[in-house]
Amino acid sequence: MKKRINVALIGNPNTGKSSVFNLLTGLQQKTGNYPGITVEKKEGVCRLSKGLSAKVFDLPGTYSLNASSLDENVVIELLLNRKHEDYPDVAVIVADIENLKRNLLLFTQIKDLAIPSILVVNMSDRMRRKGITLDLAGMEKALNTKIVLTSTLRKEGIDQLKSHIADFAHLETSPCVDFRTTDPEYFAALQQTFPNQSIYKLWLVITQDVNFANINRNTIQKTNGDHTRSNSFLKRLQQRETIKRYQFINEVLKKHLHVNQSEATDFQSRLDRILTHKFWGYIIFFIILFTIFQAIYDWSSYPMDAIDSAFVSMSEWTKTNLPSWFLPKLISEGVIPGLGGVAIFIPQIAILFVFISILEETGYMSRVVFLMDRVLRKFGLSGKSVVPLISGTACAIPAIMATRNIESWKERLITILVTPFTTCSARLPVYLILIALVIPDTRFLGANMQGLVLMGLYLLGFGMALAAAYVLQFVLKLPYKSAFVVEMPNYRIPILRNVGITVYNKTKSFVFEAGKIILAISVLLWVLASNGPGSSFGNAEEIVRQDTTLLNQAELEQKISAYKLEHSYLGRAGKFIEPAIAPLGYDWKIGIAIVSSFAAREVFVGTLATIYNVGTDEEDTIKNRMADEVHPDGKPVFTLASGMSLMIFYAFAMQCMSTLAIVRKETNSWRWPTIQLVVMTVIAYLAAFATFQLL
């Protein structure tokens, strides 16, 4: 007997599938992509009983096995391929109690694949409030399956679900609908031509752009026999199959599901009239954004100060207690300051993800998508472009991947090209440190001034995305604007467990992904900053002593450290690019940070933390070090003009090689990411130049 089985969680979008996944797996989950394609793959481990565990896959949301997107293709190809390492031993189909009719279409199709299946009817806690009663035993008999009523809000039904999964070998695999009756002659001929193959799998291969075993749709269609038909015939037959399934579903629900309309409320429709109102909807959304950015500053100050002090103490302890040779100096001057430059922003990033997760959990984010469609269509974007643009506030990479749901290629391309303008979480550390340096921590009409500036930068990025899209619709000669359809999920009370898991995974991903890059770059930068060519670096102490007099020991050592850094390999590289960035108000150290942050935007702060720490014995926070930095003429480096210039540069610049890579993958060409990099860099440079000169 197997010690670990594969379990596939399948269902329509907004059925609470991810909530069931979180309850089954907890924190034992990871996220990646399916090999060769940019579709998110979520998997986790669930202990079922002594000696038996399950590898649970949260498959992309799909309405049926009649695929219309790359996400749905992933589901079909996995369910067709028995040789795939993730092929499920049992399929768990998650349905929403209020949308059973639509959800059961997918269930009846999966039953035809002869995979042991369990139907989970989720959100059962809403049944009484909505006046819904369910004859569970009757439905189980009609659908040839085990049905589990779950409430992820109350954590009900999960133990029963685990028990049924563990007993998967005894689940009924016979279909509940005989789809072949839609055209008996055609399917008899098809089965006769391929007698050893599953008839429903053959039908899916013919009607979908998928393959299984050694058979593809072209092979089947080219095989001589009575089963060969035109595409129009196949499309009509596919429609008849769907009608046949819904006729069966209607009969089942008529007998076993009862809804007392008098007990149901229209609270959702009343709330929708307010939240999606042509005027008040935007005001409410703006107030929510305002609250989020105020909270990011007001709630995070104490934990940030504690983290900052902890890294300063660690660096000081290593310098004091470890011998002064290569590795300890690398740790104290390179690794610890570099990582501390990112760790300090964990509280603010976590707060941002808390709010985003709550908005998604309650169902409000779908209302925002509907609301913003009215605005976006004027700029040549699909209503579906809202999803990438909003999710881009977390990270541009999954946001660009989300554009594959946009049917029109030109609308999809425009969305891909403008999404990186949206302010992502990687820009947040850059904004936060610069705002803290150049914007006073004061109140304006009762609001935190720094929070207002941060919100302004987010709105600026979104505004630039719209402006770029408006221009691109004429450049690409967009022929028409496609229709927009969005599903409004029911309003739900946020499940704190889901919010916690989301925040944990997102923050962990940010820290570890950024941490790996920053660690590598910190080591490289420290080596380049601690070594240099020629006698200027090697004889730094003698040169400084000859040029300076009447300095105390501390001032002399500081002068020697600064001279060494300036004549190191890193310093010479920075001096080389300094003429190009000087008109923007930046010195060579900022130039190094900008170049290195192309690996990842958040590296900017870690780079400066490493540079300012090299060869310095006195410990201080990164914010204080940046505040004390001065030009050779004694003027501070970080002023309102240079700080705002830097923020504007990062608001518009690409500055992320991972985003370029995903654009290359999604467009299947280096042409578009190259154009994107050049245009965004030019816009960023000109905007930063104008900002510095004006201020």
DSSP per residue, 168-189 = GGGS--S-SS-GGGGSHHHHHH
Query: Has residue 15 got a pLDDT over 50?
Result: yes
Residues 214 and 109 placed together within one structural domain of the fold:
no
Residues 143 and 194 placed together within one structural domain of the fold:
no
Would 504 be classed as within a structural domain? no
Average pLDDT of the chain is: 80
- Decide if 338 contacts 636 (C-beta within 8 A): no
Average pLDDT over residues 254-262: 79
Residues 163 and 196 placed together within one structural domain of the fold:
no
- Tokens in use for 266? 């229209």
Q: What is the DSSP string of 318-366?
A: HHHHS-SSHHHHHIIIIIHHHHHHHHTTHHHHHHHHHHHHHHHHHTHHH
Average pLDDT over residues 689-695: 91
Q: What pLDDT, on the 0 to 100 scale, is given for residue 482?
A: 56
Residues 184 and 150 placed together within one structural domain of the fold:
no
The Cβ-side half-sphere exposure at 120, using a 13 Å CA radius, reads: 33
Would 312 be classed as within a structural domain? no
Q: What pLDDT, on the 0 to 100 scale, is given for residue 69?
A: 65
How far apart (Å, rounded) are the C-alpha atoms in residues 533 and 531? 7
Q: What is the CATH number of the domain that holds 95?
A: 3.40.50.300
Query: Has residue 672 got a pLDDT over 70?
Result: yes
- Decide if 132 contacts 105 (C-beta within 8 A): no
Residues 645 and 520 placed together within one structural domain of the fold:
yes
| 53 three-state secondary structure | strand
Residues 117 and 14 placed together within one structural domain of the fold:
yes
Task: Give the residue from 427, 433, 685, 657 showing the smallest Cα distance to 581.
Answer: 685
Which range of residues forms the domain containing residue 525?
512-694
Would 648 be classed as within a structural domain? yes
Among 133, 153, 170, where does a domain finish?
170
Instruction: For residue 164, name the pLDDT band (cuts at 50, 70, 90).
Output: very high
Q: What pLDDT, on the 0 to 100 scale, is given for residue 109?
A: 92
Residues 129 and 208 placed together within one structural domain of the fold:
no
Average pLDDT over residues 265-292: 82
Residues 599 and 561 placed together within one structural domain of the fold:
yes
Residues 163 and 198 placed together within one structural domain of the fold:
no
Would 16 be classed as within a structural domain? yes
Instruction: For residue 547, name the pLDDT band (cuts at 50, 70, 90).
Output: low
- Decide if 57 contacts 7 (C-beta within 8 A): yes
Residue of higher predicted confidence among 462 and 506: 462
How far apart (Å, rounded) are the C-alpha atoms in residues 349 and 425? 7
Among 113, 135, 170, where does a domain finish?
170
Residues 225 and 123 placed together within one structural domain of the fold:
no
Residue of higher predicted confidence among 174 and 326: 174
Average pLDDT over residues 295-318: 80
Query: Has residue 33 got a pLDDT over 70?
Result: no
Would 596 be classed as within a structural domain? yes
How far apart (Å, rounded) are the C-alpha atoms in residues 691 and 684? 10
Would 556 be classed as within a structural domain? yes
Number of domains in the chain: 3
Instruction: For residue 138, name the pLDDT band (cuts at 50, 70, 90).
Output: very high
Residues 547 and 588 placed together within one structural domain of the fold:
yes
| Other residues' Cβ atoms within 10 Å of the Cβ of residue 635 | 9
The most confident of the ranges 168-172, 262-266, 300-304, 407-411 is: 168-172
Would 274 be classed as within a structural domain? no
What pLDDT, in 10s, does the model give residues 432-451?
888 888 888 888 777 788 88
Q: What pLDDT, on the 0 to 100 scale, is given for residue 648?
A: 93
Query: Has residue 276 got a pLDDT over 90?
Result: no
Average pLDDT over residues 80-97: 89
Q: What pLDDT, on the 0 to 100 scale, is given for residue 104?
A: 92
Would 323 be classed as within a structural domain? no
Q: Terminal CA-to-CA distance of the chain, rounded, Å?
A: 73
DSSP letter assigned to residue 676: H
Residue of higher predicted confidence among 514 and 495: 495
Q: What pLDDT, on the 0 to 100 scale, is given for residue 66?
A: 82
Q: What pLDDT, on the 0 to 100 scale, is given for residue 37?
A: 45
Instruction: For residue 684, name the pLDDT band (cuts at 50, 70, 90).
Output: very high
Residues 81 and 116 placed together within one structural domain of the fold:
yes
